[in-house]
């Protein structure tokens, strides 16, 4: 029973991290650092409920350093490449959490579409990352267009993953209630 509660908490904090990624805090200067700290903190809190050993903590550390460096040094070329590398680190983090989600889905016999959702997530995010690698070689209007299109696609796949995690959490929570008859 305690393990099931840990799994529910893991999914809850993972959903919180995904929700925080959906918000756009870049209205004021350096507020996106706060958003990154909140998102990666929620990822770490989620990992505290998992007994699996994963390299996610290393990926989170690298992503935080990249986010800090990109905000401290404000060069346009550094901005492009830090955006690409941070998106890559986020993809690696989500892929590692995807392994945890698939194992939870198998453990609780939730015949859900986790593998399909993650496959689409990886394909779309990878396509966005590839398109962002060519930003510095394009005219300014194409740069803005690719950034906006990529941000929109990332928003859509994060919403899909967010709702999938919520439904998996609901399923695990429902499976945790055991009725015993005497």
Q: State residue 80's pLDDT score.
A: 76
pTM: 0.86
In a domain, 181, yes or no: no
> Mean per-residue pLDDT for 8-26?
87
Overall domain count for the chain: 1
Report if residue 7 sits inside a domain. yes
Identify the domain containing residue 125 by its residue range: 2-174
Burial 56-85 (b: 16+ CB within 10 A, else e): beebbebbbebbeebeeeeeeeeebbbbbb
pLDDT tens by residue, 38-86: 999 999 999 999 888 789 999 999 999 988 888 777 776 677 788 889 8
């Amino acid at each position: 029973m305690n393990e099931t509660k840990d799994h529910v908490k893991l999914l809850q904090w993972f959903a919180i991290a995904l929700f925080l990624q959906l918000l756009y805090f870049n209205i004021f200067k350096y507020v996106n650092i706060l958003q990154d700290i909140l998102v990666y903190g929620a990822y770490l809190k989620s990992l505290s409920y998992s007994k699996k050993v994963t390299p996610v903590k290393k990926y989170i550390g690298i992503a935080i350093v990249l986010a800090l460096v990109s905000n401290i040094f404000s060069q346009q070329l550094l901005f492009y490449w830090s955006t690409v590398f941070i998106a890559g680190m986020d993809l690696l983090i989500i892929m590692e959490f995807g392994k945890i989600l698939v194992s939870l889905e198998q453990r609780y016999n939730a015949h859900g579409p986790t593998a399909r959702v993650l496959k689409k997530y990886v394909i779309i995010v990878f396509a966005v990352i590839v398109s962002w690698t060519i930003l510095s070689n394009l005219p300014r209007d194409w740069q803005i267009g690719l950034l906006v299109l990529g941000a929109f696609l990332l928003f859509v796949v994060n919403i899909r993953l967010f709702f999938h995690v919520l439904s998996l959490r609901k399923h695990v929570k429902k499976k945790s209630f055991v009725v015993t008859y005497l």
